[in-house]
Structure 1
Amino acid sequence: MSSPSSPDTQPLWTPGAGRIAQARITDYQQWLQARKGKSFQDYPALWQWSVDHLEDFYESIWEYFDLRSSAPYSRVLDRRAMPGARWFEGARLNLAEQVFRFHPDEPDRPAIVSRSEIRPMQSLGWGALRAQVAAAAQGLRALGVGPGDRVVAYLPNLPETLVAFLAVSSLGAIWSSCSPDMGTRSVLDRFRQIDPKVMLAVDGYRYSGKDFDRLPVVAGLRDALPTLGTVVLLPYLDPQARLDGTLSWDELLAQPAAPMQFEQVAFDHPLWVVYSSGTTGLPKPIVHGHGGVLLKGLQDLALQMDIGPQDRFMWFTTTGWIMWNIQMMGLLAGATVCLYDGNPGHPDLNTLWDFADQAGVTFFGAGAAYFLACRKAGVEPGKHVHPGVLKTIGSTGSPLSDDGYRWLMQQFPDVLVAALSGGTDVAAAYVGPCPVLPVHAGEMQCRYLGTAVRAYDDAGQSLEDAVGELVVTEPMPCMPLRFWNDPDGIRYHDSYFGVYPGIWRHGDWIRITPRGGAIIYGRSDTTINRHGIRMGTAEIYRVLEAFPEVLDCMVVDLEYLGRESYMPLFVVLRDGQALTDDLAARMKAAIRENLSARHVPDDILVAPAIPRTLSGKKMELPVKRLLLGEPMDKVINPDAMSNPDCLPWYLEQGARRRP
């Protein structure tokens, strides 16, 4: 990709002296100077030290946050090699134990504030959270759940879901979750791979004021997961809901009271399994460890995002997006986490802003698409949130446009716009905010400490102020331990290290600016990220393959800065078939019911053919770049295609749609 013009040189926002003095990263730098004799003139110098001296940096994070372990580590890092780097060998700890180090003498202090389309505003204190987690852990223990067992959740973004997660992690068991708006096939494609022992599920949910009964889906999941010993049902949509053969949530928590216990596990003991989007087949089950999530989560939230015990942290998400996991990490920093479940646009787009105001949110996070929708709808959130409370607005999921930055700054002149970019793969961010740096339109403020992010060209050469592949050249403690059911590590290696040997390739286009900021230009692979929910094209194709009328198909998501993305579905129909309104409606309904309402295509277009390579692979990424306006000779080699005659038709489609 060619380099775009340079971003604005004048910042939109500059932190005041008070904000800099109070920032946690300022305190960390003062600690470094006092305890380690390390002094840095600015953030770029601190970042350079952190990646040049990885072991010293991550040991300083361990010491600064006073992480506790029942056994000491023998060394910080065994070797600087990827994959296979081993961190903090010998340490024994538990992520859930870190959470309950906070506010032991303030049982009524809110740990979770929540609201949904079904429930009014509620608050759960730290004392009640501890009691419920202890009870849930005791209930799971009575079901035979122990270290290494998989517990899966088909639950919304509710307090009970966080309680269940903390209970599972306290036992050393392994967590995995899907959102209940995901269809049966998508859930089974994920949960079947990890052989769960217990499933926690909801009877239904409400979205846009409409009720969705999920009891038939839960019954189907139970029947299709042969390793399940128990299903625990949370009555949410209907308090009286029951399903034969299941244990109720209240019954799970009804075990005799017992003291809170935290199973001590190795730094690399599995914590959860999260999933890739299934672009080229079944979603990849990505395993992360207790120690990596704990260490990197504290660094990212406390130092980069400036979240601490006095904050109220919200990120609008579902349990099927990695931002749910990031939201949970607010508890690691001692913050109150604020949960909303439902449609952020129902009854209008002020809903989330009103919730943030009522909950006293200090850090408000959402996908960039949400902010774009608010701007286009003429919403004025600055009039819905009391001044002086909100101090940071986070954005991720897709690039936030220059206009998006400016609109947010117009609404909240004194608030830090904290755009960040990371991934499910590392359950962390690579680039994002820093509270002591200025904000420039369209640009994330910095590369995260200890994260050796570079832009590489196709030959593996580092680029300066030019667009290239986002790579990480040094190990991170939060990198996946492995993929589930990948004993020889081949799938793991090919996913991240197949392009640049020994170098982690993420799959985004990035440019590192001369001042050390970063601009993300979207995905360099074919993952579709719609409204913060990632889905691979292979999952959509599996649904459409069931239609006898459809001979072939391809979907791409076209991301335009400053405009809503546009996702067309191209179909090749069998001879004698036509794209009737009925057929189009049935295809959209199948995608909605089996996968996600967010991935229903904007248009269905009958194409003469689907562009394929000589080996028969669909050319999704080249077609996407072609439709976005890149020159054909830069993105597609017709000689490498089995059907180049179809290209003029796609060129015409791109010309019609582009701004």
Structure 2
Amino acid sequence: MTQQPQPPVLWVPDETRRERANLTAFTHWVEEHRGVDVPDYDALWRWSVTDLDGFWSGIWEYYRVRSATPYTAVLADDTMPGAVWFPGATLNYAEHVFRDRDDTAVAIRHASELRPPGEVTWGELKRRTAATAAALRRLGVGPGDRVVAYLPNVVEAAAAFFACAAIGATWSSCSPDFGVRSVIDRFAQIEPKVLLAVDGYRYGGRDFDRRDVLRALRDGLPSLEHTVVLPYLSDEPVADTLAWDEFEAAGEGADLDFTPLPFDHPLWVLYSSGTTGLPKAIVHGHGGILLEQLKNLHLHLDAQADDRVFWFTTTGWMMWNFLVSVLLTDASIVLYDGSPAHPDLGALWDLAERTGTTIFGTSAGYLSTCMKAGIHPTGGRDLSALRAIGSTGSPLSPEGFAWCYREFGSDLWLFSTSGGTDICSCLVGGVPTLPVHQGEIQARSLGMAVASWDPEGNELVGEVGELVVTRPAPSMPIYFWGDADGTRLRDSYFSMYPGVWRHGDWIEITERGTAIIYGRSDSTINRGGVRMGTSEIYRSVLALEEVLDALVVDVPQPDGGSRIELFVVLREGAELDDDLVGRIARGIREDCSPRHVPDGVRAVTAVPRTLSGKVMEVPVKRILMGEAPERVASRDSLANPEALDYFARLAANRRNE
């Protein structure tokens, strides 16, 4: 193997930042209380993934996790899937959010296209959460009941989530830009008792009335007993629903109580899609998410008392769950609902200046867009409070790294992360005490036994392979909703390497311990961090009479972005004209999400399939990325090998352009 040249080091934390970092204090504690010699981060990481009992009980002890009853073991069963963590413990995620708070301190700063900027103190957040919890109890909601939210990224959504956690109800949310079919495909699986929704929203200066969507959702969710509507777009009431003010007033004055729950009691349900079937309804537990986020937000994000943490997200992306979990630390958070490009691409940088944001989180795509558009974030703005930028959602290109340091200077900590909905956290990400190499993620996350494997299960260093996790972690899914025997869970993560988690990303672990993500190794489509399965796109496209078959892939681009390409087989006599392309786009926008509208649509004579009939999405994606067809698929395994030839010719033509 030829050793690759080391990329430039763009940032090295000075002694003051290293000493101030939460990670440094935790490392000293590990040495003193666990008797472990920790000369550097690599040693700490290796201990964290070999001594799982010692590490995770250390997180529990160091962050003073409260449990009404003691645990009888740390990891009673380390089998994957099926690991059993902290049996016997009864706790509550929300209790740890609200403990030891100064009621006069600011918890949340917020802004949106529909509301003026504002602040919410801890006392106000506690009052609203208590009122919402009491109101939900009055509607008959208790531990294990599901409450679903079709809400934007506003304070009401955060308070409602904390209220559900406090009483033991299970939370699930989608953003209001999701189409009816996508929402029903998600929410109907978990049979919710209560729907919390808005009447509409504003994005990019345009108003989107969602009352018709709301009626369709209620018709498609027969388990609903109550619908509560926040009048976000207008003051007009929605028939046969409970108004938000009336709902909240019913619980006004209540105390905020926390129900002790088993460690693996369902906290929330997130969704991630595959190539077939409905979206996977991923269930995470109170205890697993609590421990993972205490670790991640303190030690990797390095959130501290003077920090104001922003991440651009909607309630349909796990980064919203991540962002509100920042309130487990002493930092405050910044919420924003609206377009990042309205009135122009400086909107989020204006927000950062206005709120005094210190940690600014966004997608790699947004940073790339700002770079290409010639945006200068510090031009005419005081962003002196900003000490860190986080990037996720897709790999940040080396050019994106360089742009950030040109714009913000050498004192910026730029950390790229990758993980996902499946664990609601990071597998590889930022480390405040390590240098930043251009185009690379700083390190593997503590407690995450991440490796790069070849197809035979051999570990790779300095080469691209499958991202695997070889030991269990507390925030792995406790199960998929409706997957009684665990078949779908095993098929999703453990079918390629039995007993080892295969994440579905291509990764390189360098000789220095840094990581580079090369995109998805499976066929889910990740736009802005929201993963949509190809099956959902096919359902929309194939509903059109003219379309007989389809194949969709998300092809990474050299600039760090990606391009969604849709290939359709048309009925005889049909033509792929502007009208049909427009109807395809409109259908995907309304059924799935605006993020997943294809960047290009082409007509083909046939979709390549295996002998068993499976669409060859990953091989086509790899061919369009430049790999030789003979390396990605055996023609003997194809039902129609000639169909693959089209994509080989297309890739060759593009290389020659």
- Normalised by the length of structure 2, the TM-score is 0.98
Give 3-state SS (helix, strand or coil) of 1:114's partner: strand
Q: Distance in 2 between matches of 1:536 and 1:5?
A: 37
Q: Which residue of 1 aligns with 2:515?
A: 518
Contact 1:7–1:443 (8 Å) recurs in 2: no
Q: Give the drift of 1:223.
A: 1.4
Give 3-state SS (helix, strand or coil) of 1:84's partner: coil
2:247 aligned to which of 221, 245, 252: 252
Q: Which residue of 1 aligns with 2:600?
A: 603
Contact 2:146–2:194 (8 Å) recurs in 1: yes
Give 3-state SS (helix, strand or coil) of 2:201's partner: strand
The ranges of structure 1 where at least 4 consecutive aligned residues each deviate by more than 6 angstroms after the TM superposition are: none
Give 3-state SS (helix, strand or coil) of 1:78's partner: strand
Q: Provide structure 1 residue ranges, at least 5 long, that are not aligned to the other structure.
A: none
Q: Which residue of 1 aligns with 2:202?
A: 206
Contact 1:8–1:441 (8 Å) recurs in 2: no
Task: Determine whether 1:114 maps to 2:114.
Answer: no
Task: Determine whether 1:509 maps to 2:509.
Answer: no
Deviation track 1:249-268 (CA, whole Å, cap 9, x = no partner) reads 11111124221100100111
Deviation track 1:255-288 (CA, whole Å, cap 9, x = no partner) reads 2422110010011110001011243220010000
Q: Provide structure 2 residue ranges, at least 5 long, that are not aligned to the other structure.
A: none
Contact 1:455–1:462 (8 Å) recurs in 2: yes
Deviation track 1:342-382 (CA, whole Å, cap 9, x = no partner) reads 11011111000110111111111111101000000000113
Q: Distance in 2 between matches of 1:53 and 1:38?
A: 11
Q: Residue type matched to 2:402 in 1? A: R
Q: Give the drift of 1:636.
A: 1.9
Q: CA RMSD in A?
A: 1.4
1:479 aligned to which of 453, 470, 476: 476
Q: Which residue of 1 aligns with 2:36?
A: 38
Q: Residue type matched to 2:628 in 1? A: P
2:402 aligned to which of 388, 403, 406: 406
Greater shift after overlay, 380-389 or 544-553?
Answer: 380-389
Q: Give the drift of 1:174.
A: 0.2
1:87 aligned to which of 73, 81, 85: 85
Give 3-state SS (helix, strand or coil) of 1:297's partner: helix
2:301 aligned to which of 293, 305, 315: 305
User: What is the aligned-residue identity percentage?
Assistant: 53
Give 3-state SS (helix, strand or coil) of 2:498's partner: coil
Q: Which residue of 1 aligns with 2:326?
A: 330
Q: Residue type matched to 1:184 in 2? A: V
Q: Residue type matched to 1:51 in 2? A: V
Q: Residue type matched to 2:344 in 1? A: D
Equivalent residue pairs, number: 654
Deviation track 1:216-257 (CA, whole Å, cap 9, x = no partner) reads 11111111111100000001011x131111111111111242
Deviation track 1:497-547 (CA, whole Å, cap 9, x = no partner) reads 111111011010111111111111100000111232211111010011111
Q: Which residue of 2 aligns with 1:585?
A: 582
Q: Give the drift of 1:7.
A: 5.7
Q: Residue type matched to 1:242 in 2? A: P
Give 3-state SS (helix, strand or coil) of 1:196's partner: coil
Q: Which residue of 2 aligns with 1:69?
A: 67
Q: Give the drift of 1:565.
A: 1.8
Q: Distance in 2 between matches of 1:266 and 1:647?
A: 51
Deviation track 1:407-439 (CA, whole Å, cap 9, x = no partner) reads 111112211111000011111111001000000
Q: Distance in 1 between matches of 2:145 and 2:117?
A: 34
Q: Distance in 2 between matches of 1:26 and 1:388?
A: 25
Give 3-state SS (helix, strand or coil) of 2:11's partner: coil
Give 3-state SS (helix, strand or coil) of 1:649's partner: helix
Q: Distance in 1 between matches of 2:595 and 2:3?
A: 33
Q: Give the drift of 1:648.
A: 2.8
Greater shift after overlay, 50-59 or 128-137?
Answer: 50-59
Q: Residue type matched to 1:498 in 2? A: S
Q: Equivalent residues in 2 for 1:274-313 (5 A)?
A: 274-313=270-309
Q: Which residue of 2 aligns with 1:165?
A: 161
Q: Equivalent residues in 2 for 1:484-563 (5 A)?
A: 484-562=481-559
Q: Residue type matched to 1:506 in 2? A: H
Q: Residue type matched to 1:233 in 2? A: V
- Normalised by the length of structure 1, the TM-score is 0.97
Give 3-state SS (helix, strand or coil) of 2:462's partner: coil
Deviation track 1:44-87 (CA, whole Å, cap 9, x = no partner) reads 01111111111001111111111111111111111322111111
Q: Give the drift of 1:603.
A: 1.4
Q: Give the drift of 1:620.
A: 0.6
2:13 aligned to which of 15, 28, 36: 15
1:54 aligned to which of 32, 36, 52: 52
Task: Determine whether 1:148 maps to 2:130.
Answer: no
Q: Which residue of 2 aligns with 1:366?
A: 362
Give 3-state SS (helix, strand or coil) of 1:381's partner: coil
Contact 2:394–2:561 (8 Å) recurs in 1: no
